[in-house]
Amino acid sequence: MQRFLAMVFVLLAAAGLARAQDTPYRVVFDLTSNDSLNQRSVMRWVKEVTQANPQAQVEVVMYGKGFELVMPERSTYIHDVESAVTNPNVKFKVCEVALKNNNVPKSAILNTVSTVPDGIFEIISKQHEGWGYIKVAR
Q: Could you tell me if residue 13 is inside a domain?
A: no
The pTM assigned to this predicted structure is: 0.84
Q: Could you tell me if residue 5 is inside a domain?
A: no
Q: Could you tell me if residue 8 is inside a domain?
A: no
Do residues 4 and 36 make contact, with C-beta atoms less than 8 angstroms apart?
no
- Digit-by-digit pLDDT tens for the chain (138 residues) are 555 444 545 555 555 544 455 789 999 999 999 999 999 999 999 999 999 999 999 999 999 999 999 999 999 999 999 999 999 999 999 999 999 999 999 999 999 999 999 999 999 999 999 999 999 998
Element (H, E) at 54: none
Which range of residues forms the domain containing residue 93?
24-135
SS (H, E, C) 85-107: CCCCCEEEEEEHHHHHHCCCCHH
Q: Could you tell me if residue 4 is inside a domain?
A: no
Task: Report the largest interatomic distance among the alpha carbons of the chain, rounded to a whole angstrom.
Answer: 71
Q: Could you tell me if residue 70 is inside a domain?
A: yes
Q: Could you tell me if residue 109 is inside a domain?
A: yes
Number of domains in the chain: 1
CATH number at residue 76: 3.40.1260.10
